[in-house]
Amino acid sequence: MNVAIIGAGINGLMSALELSEQGIQVHIYDQQQAGLEASWAGGGILSPMYPWRYPQAVNTLAKHAKYLYHQWNEKLFPITGIDFQIQQTGMLIFDHNDFAQGLAYAEKYNEPMQRCEKISQSKIKNINPRVSKNLQEAIFFPELSNIRNPRVLQSVIRYLQKQPNVQFHENIKISNLIPNKDEVHAIQDHNQNIYFHDHIVIATGAWSAEWSKQLNIQLPVYPIQGQMALFKTPPHWLPTMCMNKVMYLIPRQDGHIVCGSSMKDIGFNKDTCNDTQKNILAACFEMIPELQKFPLIKAWTGLRPSSPHGIPYIGQLPHLKNVWLNTGHFRNGLCMGAASAQLLRQHMLSQPLIEDPTPYSPNQLYI
């Protein structure tokens, strides 16, 4: 089998990893270099933020991904020399309006990753002494982890580059699908070059709606901009992740603190905005006042592939027997990515499935 994967973000790369490990010949196409855009720009929390706010289909994939990333890191690190730097820091959430829902969700689903407890200021101080004294209560999730997403991408890319059955085609924009009855016969790039493959996987993230007309479907995936900021503190300065009012702080092992993030429906605009930056920083300083003492070293934006309810489309298009989707992960591309790719691989190769694929089926695109 010869598979073309269009899109080299986390979902395209993890799909390539899953398929190549099965001996499949994989070709990865991207309109720029692999591993950029939203996959690089995100924070790397290995859980949906406020999981009770999402459909269970999102949480179902996320619960698998943490363990899958640990497994992949164990396999890839000795070969690539790049550690994913998965940290189980836990997370403090300070949104009072979510306390009851968060505790009820943890009790209902009894998932180890989402185990939590409501704590008062004295215990908050023991867990994370950097937290503002004005925040008197929180729900604490001790099992939540974060992963350093640029390092994941670098490791996966380096590993795939070493595989004889994987080929990268970077800075090549695939613009046309060439149909032949009930399949796509070939794909064509913007320079009119044609490539023949047995199967096509579309993993183009925020750009996925561009395929709607050619595929004769309505693919409701469009960009939502998110803006981030990065501070540098001493290593291990902030002991936990923190979240309040949909703004988060994520500590890295070397002392970098990722702060985010905003949401703007402004198309493919990736410009940073001073007002947005001020809002992010104000929310972060409200949680961790001491952070103001440290240098802000970078700000950037990413384009999330928004979809209705944040449930990705994973599976085969019914009217095209060799075209598959793995896109539309919205804010949870990384935390679902490893499981999304595994589910796609199992589906493509008619193997036992980790979960019921129905909630992610492209069939709904025909309704």
Q: 57 and 176 share a domain?
A: yes
Which residues form the domain of 283?
Answer: 91-143+222-306
Q: 245 and 119 share a domain?
A: yes
Beta-carbon contacts of residue 294 (< 8 Å; ≥ 6 apart): 231, 232, 233, 257
Half-sphere exposure of 77 (CA within 13 A, CB side): 10
pLDDT score, position 283: 94
Q: In CATH, what number is assigned to the domain containing residue 276?
A: 3.30.9.10
Q: 154 and 301 share a domain?
A: no
In a domain, 16, yes or no: yes
pLDDT digits (tens, 9 = 90+) for 291-332: 999 999 999 999 999 999 999 999 999 999 999 999 999 999
Q: 158 and 302 share a domain?
A: no
* Residues 28/167, Cβ–Cβ less than 8 Å: yes
Q: 296 and 323 share a domain?
A: no
In a domain, 69, yes or no: no
Given a cut of 60, whether residue 16 has pLDDT beyond it is yes
Beta-carbon contacts of residue 290 (< 8 Å; ≥ 6 apart): 130
- Report the chain's C-alpha Rg in angstroms: 21
In a domain, 78, yes or no: no
Q: 133 and 227 share a domain?
A: yes
Q: 196 and 285 share a domain?
A: no
In a domain, 73, yes or no: no
Q: 329 and 287 share a domain?
A: no
In a domain, 75, yes or no: no
In a domain, 8, yes or no: yes
pLDDT score, position 167: 98
Given a cut of 80, whether residue 50 has pLDDT beyond it is yes
Q: Indicate the number of domains in the chain.
A: 2
pLDDT digits (tens, 9 = 90+) for 223-232: 999 999 999 9
Q: In CATH, what number is assigned to the domain containing residue 19?
A: 3.50.50.60
Confidence of residue 110 (pLDDT cuts 50, 70, 90): confident
The model's pTM: 0.96
